[in-house]
Amino acid sequence: MKFALQTQERRLDLTVLPMVNVVFLLLVFFMLVGRVGPKEELDVDPPLSQLGQTESGHAIRVEIDRSGVMVLDGRKVDTTELIIAVSDLLRQDPATQIQLKADAGLDANLLIKLMETLRLIGVAKLTLVTEHAT
Amino acid sequence: MSLHSYGQLKDREIEEAARKRRSLVILTPLVDIVFILLIFFMLASSFSDHRVIGFLTPAGAKQAIGSEQPSAVLVRVDADGSLDMSGQPMSTVHIAQEVARRSLSDHTLGYLVQPNRGVSVQQVIDVVDLLKSSGARNVSLASRSGS
């Protein structure tokens, strides 16, 4: 009776351990390969490009979706609010970098107008997020 | 087998069984936590390979190029994908050759990409890619004039 119980326990141990091993491997894989970042408000697919460089330094990210809706710091803004917010940031730190994450399907003229506006208020470094094409 | 040694054997057996049960008890919460961590990392991590393209702004360009204004070539992009360079319609292959030829003699030459109405960001980035991979160093964007 006792012997039967013991082998049952051992069998349970033996079936659980390989699963735990696999789960550990998956955990380590996801921790190393994935990047945990802040949640994104909008559904934005950045344009594909072969020439992008890896991100360097801290930048304020502005998301722009297909229809031109802009999100700064998790909150929807219009052009005027964006200009006010960016000017405030520039007053605190004139070297503030702005990173635009625009959808590939957005009207290019809308994006360029926005980039020109940001330049006019004194943004020194402006980058555009792309998805690396293989 | 004497009664005494039988009792010892039984004790050891019980001890072993208890140890085994204890090790199983320790393993379960660990597995739970590992599962929770696994699910967290699976849901929270992103695998997209994001890069950035930098565009010089007047404030930054002044430091990089100096006070002199470099000459620039206008490349216009149409919604149907056709391109023209300095007003002449050209194919992508032709533009790549032309840019490569010009950048040999003058590598400070700037290129201004101007999209027409209805051109998407992807089409503009494709043209920027084409110019840069053909040897252009200084590519900037311009909005459509008169709109």
Where do the domains of chain A lie?
Answer: 1-36, 48-132
- Where are the alpha helices (H) located in B45-138, listed in sequence order? 58-65, 92-105, 121-133
Is the pLDDT at B147 greater than 50? The verdict is: no
Is the pLDDT at B98 greater than 80? The verdict is: yes
Closest of B39, B51, B47 to residue A33, by C-alpha: B47
Is the pLDDT at A43 greater than 90? The verdict is: no
Bin A68: left if φ > 0, else alpha if -120 < ψ < 50, else beta: left
Residues B114, B73 within the same domain: yes
Residues B77, B101 within the same domain: yes
* Residue B57 confidence (pLDDT): 59
On whether any CB of chain B is under 8 Å from the CB of A5, the answer is yes
What's the distance, CA A130 to chain centroid?
11
Residues B38, B72 within the same domain: no
- Please report the number of interchain residue pairs, chain A to chain B, with beta-carbon separation below 8 angstroms: 169
* Residue B145 confidence (pLDDT): 67
Token couple for B31: 């597995």
> CA of B16: which chain A residue's CA is closest?
A6
Residues B35, B95 within the same domain: no
On whether any CB of chain A is under 8 Å from the CB of B129, the answer is yes
Task: Indicate the CATH number of A48-132 among 3.30.420.40, 3.30.420.270, 3.40.50.1240, 1.10.240.10.
Answer: 3.30.420.270
Label residue A14 exposed, middle or buried (CB < 10 Å: 0-12, 13-18, 19+).
exposed
Q: How confident is the model at residue A19 (pLDDT cuts 50, 70, 90)?
A: confident
CB neighbours of residue B125 within 10 Å: 27
Q: What is the CA radius of gyration of chain A?
A: 24
Q: Which of B4-13, B93-102, B134-143 is predicted most confidently?
A: B93-102
Residues B94, B30 within the same domain: no
* Residue B59 confidence (pLDDT): 47
Residues B84, B22 within the same domain: no
Residues B84, B40 within the same domain: no
Is the ipTM reported for this complex over the cut 0.85?
Answer: no
For B21, the domain range is 1-50
pLDDT in tens, B43-59: 888 877 788 888 865 54
Q: How confident is the model at residue B68 (pLDDT cuts 50, 70, 90)?
A: low
